[in-house]
């Protein structure tokens, strides 16, 4: 039986856990966004002081 649904590339969600990382978060986000299949970037922070 022929395939009826188009084959698509997988979507990727990047999750970045951060604590007191104000200086490095922009670099991490930029790196994630350079990937070709990234659909979403989520940054999670808990109780940072910066």
26 membership: H or E segment, kind and range: helix 25-33
Query: What letter does residue 49 receive in the DSSP assignment?
Result: -
Residue positions counted in the chain: 50
Question: pTM, whole model, 2 decimals?
Answer: 0.70
Instruction: Give 17-44 pLDDT, tens digit per residue.
Output: 999 999 999 999 999 999 888 889 999 9
pLDDT score of 3: 65
Q: Count of CB atoms within 10 A of residue 32's CB?
A: 18
Residue 10 above 80 pLDDT? no
14 membership: H or E segment, kind and range: strand 12-18
């Amino acid at each position: 039986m022929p395939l009826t649904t188009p084959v698509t590339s997988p979507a990727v969600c990047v999750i970045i856990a951060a604590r007191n990382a104000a200086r490095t978060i922009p670099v991490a986000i930029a790196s994630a966004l350079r990937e070709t299949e990234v659909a979403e970037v989520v940054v999670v922070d808990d109780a940072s002081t910066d």
